[in-house]
Amino acid sequence: MKYHDTHFHLDLMANPIDIVRQIEKHEIYTIAVTNSPQVYFYTENITKNSKYIRPALGLHPELVSERYKEIDQFISLLSKTKYIGEVGLDNYNKTPSDYKKQILVFEKIVSSCAAFGDKILTVHSRRAETDLLDIFGNEFPGKVILHWYSGSLKNLERAISLGYYFSINYQMTKSKNGQKIIDRIPINRLLIESDGPFTSLGSKKFTPLMVDSILDGICHSKNDINPKEIKQRILRNFYDLISCK
């Protein structure tokens, strides 16, 4: 089975064209998230001949206060891809007016994606997990990946009960809170993400070519399960995700 990376900011890397070539060479299935509809066009263009990279349409919550008017363009582009991200909510050091805009935009994103029924969303939820889960509700018809989840165990259990996936990065495998969260997630809901260039291994920015170190970290956190079984299950999870109807 081939490796995967469900959350990678290709357009923010210093050498995106070269990284595209490397991903293709090493056959790593990659969801290239974007932070705004305008960036989506660039990522779509540089990956148009790629077998392994899928550009995702995004509107990052931390950019909503200045780019909230782009929601109409976002919705108009939804028919171009079933991969959506990075989207979500972020209530860390945000003003009430900023957060209110985020909620309004995210509600539109979720309802618009629900109308298609087949979207795969990679979602940011920092300090906003309860509101985010409430907006999704109990019957969202697409697939949801909670990217770099750091919230409460109560909301973690709620998301698990809704069938959500969780993408794990290297920093999560190295923090006590991250390890605690990883330990509570069933292995059939785990996925891998680099979140490069926002994560690093030493001085090197993470790319999809480095995800084997994340798998090793997950195995260390779940040391009561055979590492081979964990790796096989996590790699299979991605195929289950992208083959959803």
Long-range contact pairs involving 127-130 (C-beta distance under 8 Å, separation at least 24): 127/90, 127/91, 127/92, 127/151, 128/61, 128/88, 128/89, 128/90, 128/91, 128/99, 128/102, 129/155, 129/159, 130/155
107 marked as part of a ligand binding site: no
> How many Å apart are CA 199 and CA 231, to the nearest integer?
21
26 marked as part of a ligand binding site: no
Contact 212, 234 (CB under 8 A): no
> How many Å apart are CA 57 and CA 59, to the nearest integer?
7
Look at residue 206 and give its three-state secondary structure. Answer: coil
5 marked as part of a ligand binding site: no
Give the distance from CA 204 to its chain's centroid.
21
60 marked as part of a ligand binding site: no
147 marked as part of a ligand binding site: yes
131 marked as part of a ligand binding site: no
What residue has token string 């995702």?
A: 56
Binding residues for a divalent metal cation: 7, 9, 86, 124, 147, 195
Binding residues: 7, 9, 86, 124, 147, 195
